[in-house]
């Protein structure tokens, strides 16, 4: 088996149907129009339209998948897990608009919140939070985030992008942020640590999303840069953990994450308007309630139907990564890997196939 060839194949597929691209496919193109209808009528269930997977892109993906090989080795198993995740992502995109099929693929990819987690989320959902003053311009936010990355010699650029609705890194070594919207001091600090990472010596060093990409790029195989299979829960858990250790995790953010669990849970058996009104009941603004319901119901065309996207419970369910030993947590700095990869990482480090980067 040619590991370099297989690594290249998976990187090419990931660029076509990886998690970043998948998020684009499940983002409705008519958000603004449908949000206005919801704000005017709280019983309205949006009808969403999506970009769609082009035939030539699907054919490229299938051709790459047909060339994939695995040999049962430790590294081969890591490649195999990524292959499985990619097939799930492809099935997810092809199932958009079909509530039962789409929801099944979401559960295959991400699981779903269990009853205990939902009960825990409800316990604090009624907490009162202070509104954060949005008085920092996006240009000032961009400059501050760029300085934070430059301090650690991370070769990413912070770019204001008019075509996004949430901040996110991309494959062109950019952190994209939303234009024309002032940000609060707290949100900038959260973004700084969640996306880039690091705390003081007492709290230890923890990489965020972009730093994990940067560290993964130092490995001999690119899969540790763009992400092993099913690594996303660990990725988001680490982002939240570094926020907590840096002291920037606020009650407002905690309430948001509790709302995400509840919304993901409710969406499986309820309509968009049911989820939206439940969020409003717990003092989320109309805009925040819409966003929470959207995150849970995206992937569906007719949001009156049951089902949706289940991954949002990741952000509240951080117990597993918090309970890791310091030694095991350090192993997660080899790149974009998950907790389930730790036994394989130990083997690959012993075999000299990976290096443990110094942060």
- Dump pLDDT digits (tens) for 33-75: 999 999 999 999 999 999 999 999 999 999 999 999 999 999 9
Rg (the chain; Cα; Å): 20
C-alpha separations of 88 from 83, 104, 186 in Å: 9, 10, 36
Indicate if the pLDDT at residue 6 is higher than 70. Answer: yes
**β-pair partners for 177:** 160
Contact 198, 206 (CB under 8 A): yes
Rounded CA separation 263/259 (Å)? 6
Cα-Cα-Cα-Cα dihedral of 259, 264, 265, 267, to 10°? 120
Q: How confident is the model at residue 319 (pLDDT cuts 50, 70, 90)?
A: very high
C-alpha separations of 299 from 102, 103, 358 in Å: 7, 8, 40
Q: Which residue has the tokens 């969020």?
A: 279
Six token digits for residue 90: 């492809």
Max CA pair span of the chain = 61
Per-residue pLDDT tens for 261-318? 999 999 999 999 999 999 999 999 999 999 999 999 999 999 999 999 999 999 999 9
Per-residue pLDDT tens for 205-262? 788 898 999 999 999 999 999 999 999 999 999 999 999 988 899 999 999 999 999 9
* Helix, strand, or coil (residue 14): helix
Rounded CA separation 30/13 (Å)? 27
Contact 171, 12 (CB under 8 A): no
User: How high is the pLDDT of residue 288?
Assistant: 95
Q: Where are the chain's structural domains?
A: 3-128+251-315, 134-249+324-350
Which DSSP letter does residue 194 get? I
**β-pair partners for 159:** 176
Closest CA to 188 of 136, 235, 153, 237: 136
Rounded CA separation 90/249 (Å)? 34
């Amino acid at each position: 088996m040619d590991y370099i060839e297989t690594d290249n194949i998976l990187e090419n597929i990931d660029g076509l149907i990886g998690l970043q691209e998948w998020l684009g496919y499940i983002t409705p193109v008519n958000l603004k129009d449908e949000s206005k209808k919801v704000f005017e009528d709280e019983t309205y269930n949006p009808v969403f339209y999506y970009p769609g997977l082009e035939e030539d892109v699907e054919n490229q993906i299938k051709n790459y998948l047909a060339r994939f090989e695995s040999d049962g080795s430790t590294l081969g198993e890591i490649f195999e897990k990524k292959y499985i995740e990619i097939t799930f992502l492809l099935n997810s995109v092809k199932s958009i608009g079909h509530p039962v099929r789409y929801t099944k693929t979401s559960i295959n990819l991400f699981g779903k919140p269990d009853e205990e987690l939902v009960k825990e989320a409800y316990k604090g959902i009624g907490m009162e939070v202070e509104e954060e003053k949005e008085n920092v311009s996006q240009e000032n936010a961009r400059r501050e985030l760029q300085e934070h990355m430059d301090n650690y010699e991370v070769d990413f650029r912070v770019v204001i992008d008019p075509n996004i609705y949430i901040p996110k890194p991309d494959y062109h070594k950019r952190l994209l942020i939303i234009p024309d919207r002032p940000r609060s001091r707290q949100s900038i600090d959260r973004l700084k640590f969640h996306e880039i990472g690091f705390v003081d010596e007492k709290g230890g060093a923890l990489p965020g999303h972009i730093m994990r990409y940067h560290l993964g790029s130092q490995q001999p195989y690119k899969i540790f840069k763009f992400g092993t299979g099913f690594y996303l829960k660990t990725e988001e858990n680490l982002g939240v953990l570094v926020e907590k250790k840096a002291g920037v995790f606020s009650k407002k953010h905690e309430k948001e994450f509790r709302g995400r669990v509840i919304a993901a849970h409710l969406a499986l058996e309820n309509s968009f308007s049911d989820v939206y009104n439940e969020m409003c009941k717990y003092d989320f603004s109309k805009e925040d309630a819409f966003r929470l319901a959207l995150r849970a119901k995206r992937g569906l065309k007719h949001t009156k139907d049951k089902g949706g996207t289940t991954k949002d419970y990741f952000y509240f369910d951080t117990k597993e990564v918090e309970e890791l030993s310091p030694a095991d947590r350090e192993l997660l700095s080899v790149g974009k890997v998950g907790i389930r990869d730790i036994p394989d990482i130990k083997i690959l480090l012993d075999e000299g196939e990976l290096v443990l980067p110094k942060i």
